[in-house]
Each structure stands twice: as structure tokens, then as C-alpha cells.
Amino acid sequence: MSAIQTYVRKTAPHGRETERVGPFLATYSPGTAHPMLNYAIPDDGAKPAAAEIDALTSAYRRRDLLPRLEYFTDIAPDLEKLLVGAGYALERRVPLMTCGPDGRVDRPVPAGIRLRAPESDDDFRRMRSAQNTAFGEPAEIGDDEVERLKAGTGVRHLLAEDVATGAVVGGGLALEVVDGTTEVAGIAVLEPYRGRGIAAALTARLTGEVHEAGAHTAFLTPGDLGIGNVYARVGYRPAGECVHLSAVADPTKSRPTPGGTRP
């Protein structure tokens, strides 16, 4: 587990600003306040003092960002209780699943679907738009986002395309391989195309590619039981859990009054 958390510490700073705050690595993504792109990672065995947690909270507040942490519980088993005591709340608890080369199960690409790497700005834009739509997020993708996707060091992108219409119906990615470890993420398929095995095929193809590139451990964190079952069919098995925690509302901010607006 420590090796996977170390991998996250090494790769999370790519494209982000970082600073050390007590036993935390705080990461900030320029140009976006999206909570999943701005979060802190604790050191192994972290047992921060109250003042250190307050300092972390303040670091995010100063940037008008939600103070958040994402980490694997096994590496800092005492931390969640300390954070909750300091005013943080659990957002979600998700399983960590891993797959090695010997455990991977290849899955066929469904009829009428093509998997390929994006080849143009339009491909990247349509792929990310499909992923965002599948995740319930805004579908519009700006030029800055396209450039960020193209600039990812060692990142493998894979889109799913309807052969008949040319529509991009899903996608996923695998981050760079570092010390034999990598993360598969962003697996998403538009609702009308679900239940056909596209997500499993995307996951299997990406996992196979990173294993061929030298990864001995691919990991992912499914957002719900349904997609977890899809990953299990590709050969991923439970290996731990990941928690996301964030601070409650900033008490220094004014509360909106009924019928009014926040200052």
C-alpha cells in the first residue's frame, strides 16, 4: 500500500503547484477549483497536530479552494479521526483495486465499437466531453483543457468510438508508469452505450498496455459497486480503501440570508 501511495505523491504534482504543510503534500491545479484536482496527500504514518491541520485548511482557504484530502487509509490509520475532530467530514470511502500481469483478463471489444488513441485536438475534446457527460459534469471543453490533456507526461488516453456514426462514446486513461506502478482512471461510457462491455474493454486494453510497458501493479478506485464489478471481470481485486475528506463550510464566510445572496 505504501508503494501505491508513494506513486500518487510522485505523480499528483504533475501540472500542479505544490507545497509542504506539516506532514502533508498540498497540491493545487492552476485555473480550476475542481475539488478532485486540488487535494492534499498525507505522509505515511501521519499524526498531525491540530495546528498543522489548521495550517493545511488555511492554505486552501487562502486560494478560495475547498480543503480536501485523498489517501489510502492503511498508510495513515490514525489520520481520519484526527481530521474529523478538526472539522473535516468524510465525502466517500471507495475500494482500492489492483491488477498484476498474471491476473489480467482480456475482454473483447463489442461489435460496432472501435478503441483507439486520440489523434487530434477534436478527438481529445470529444473524448473528454463524453467522459464529463458520463460523470454528470459539464460537457463543454475549452482549449486550455485540450492542451492540458495533450501535455500529460507518459499518460495513455484511449477513446471508444461508434464505428457507424463516428461518435465518441467513452474513454479512459492510464497515468505514467513509475517504479512499476500506474493508475488507470477516468473510465466512462455514455449512458445509451452502457451494458455492452465497452468499459471492460477500455479497462482491459489500458491495463494490458501498461503491463506491456513494464508495470507490475495497475490500480484504480471504483466510484461505485457497479463499475467495481466491471473491473473485477478484467482481473482487478480489492487491496484496500481510499478516503476523501473535506473541511466543513468556512465559519468566517457569511451565510446567505433567505431571499438574499452571499456577499
Radius of gyration (C-alpha) of the chain in whole angstroms: 19
- pLDDT for res 171: 98
| 144 neighbors 101 (Cβ within 8 angstroms) | no
- pLDDT for res 257: 32
Residue whose C-alpha cell reads 487530434 in the numeric block:
120
Q: What is the mean pLDDT of residues 65-88?
A: 97
Residue 240 has pLDDT above 50, yes or no: yes
Same-domain check for residues 197 and 123: yes
Give the model confidence (pLDDT) of 206-227 as tens digits.
Answer: 999 999 999 999 999 998 778 8
Question: What is the C-alpha separation between 168 and 170, in angstroms, rounded?
Answer: 6
Same-domain check for residues 121 and 230: yes
Domain around 15:
2-95+243-247
Question: What is the C-alpha separation between 95 and 60, in angstroms, rounded?
Answer: 26
* Confidence band, pLDDT 50/70/90 cuts, at residue 252: low
Write down the mean pLDDT value for the chain: 92
Residue 78 has pLDDT above 60, yes or no: yes
Is 252 domain-assigned? no
pTM of the model: 0.87
| Neighbour-count burial of 256, counting CB atoms closer than 10 A to its CB (0-12 exposed, 13-18 middle, 19+ buried) | exposed
CATH number for the domain spanning 68: value is: 3.40.630.30
- pLDDT for res 253: 59
Same-domain check for residues 161 and 90: no
Is 158 domain-assigned? yes
Number of domains observed in the structure of the chain: 2
Question: What is the C-alpha separation between 112 and 114, in angstroms, rounded?
Answer: 7
Is 101 domain-assigned? no
Question: What is the C-alpha separation between 42 and 243, in angstroms, rounded?
Answer: 12
| 64 neighbors 225 (Cβ within 8 angstroms) | no
Question: What is the C-alpha separation between 204 and 172, in angstroms, rounded?
Answer: 11
Same-domain check for residues 136 and 80: no
Same-domain check for residues 227 and 134: yes
Q: What is the mean pLDDT of residues 95-105?
A: 96
| 198 neighbors 205 (Cβ within 8 angstroms) | no
Same-domain check for residues 38 and 125: no
* Confidence band, pLDDT 50/70/90 cuts, at residue 167: very high
Is 254 domain-assigned? no
Same-domain check for residues 83 and 149: no
Question: What is the C-alpha separation between 91 and 111, in angstroms, rounded?
Answer: 38
Same-domain check for residues 58 and 125: no
Is 102 domain-assigned? no
Same-domain check for residues 91 and 122: no
Question: What is the C-alpha separation between 253 and 74, in angstroms, rounded?
Answer: 34
Tell me the residue ranges of DSSP E strands in 48-105. Answer: 68-72, 88-99
Q: What is the mean pLDDT of residues 74-90?
A: 97
- pLDDT for res 68: 98
Q: What is the mean pLDDT of residues 245-254?
A: 75
Same-domain check for residues 89 and 127: no
Give the model confidence (pLDDT) of 4-24 as tens digits.
Answer: 999 999 999 988 999 999 999
Residue 262 has pLDDT above 80, yes or no: no
Same-domain check for residues 135 and 215: yes
Q: Which of 67, 24, 13 is nearest to 46 (CA)?
A: 24
Q: Which of 83, 77, 100, 87 is nearest to 22 (CA)?
A: 83
Is 77 domain-assigned? yes
Question: What grid cell was written down for 167?
Answer: 461518435
- pLDDT for res 146: 93
Is 177 domain-assigned? yes
Same-domain check for residues 69 and 7: yes
Question: What grid cell was written down for 235?
Answer: 482481473
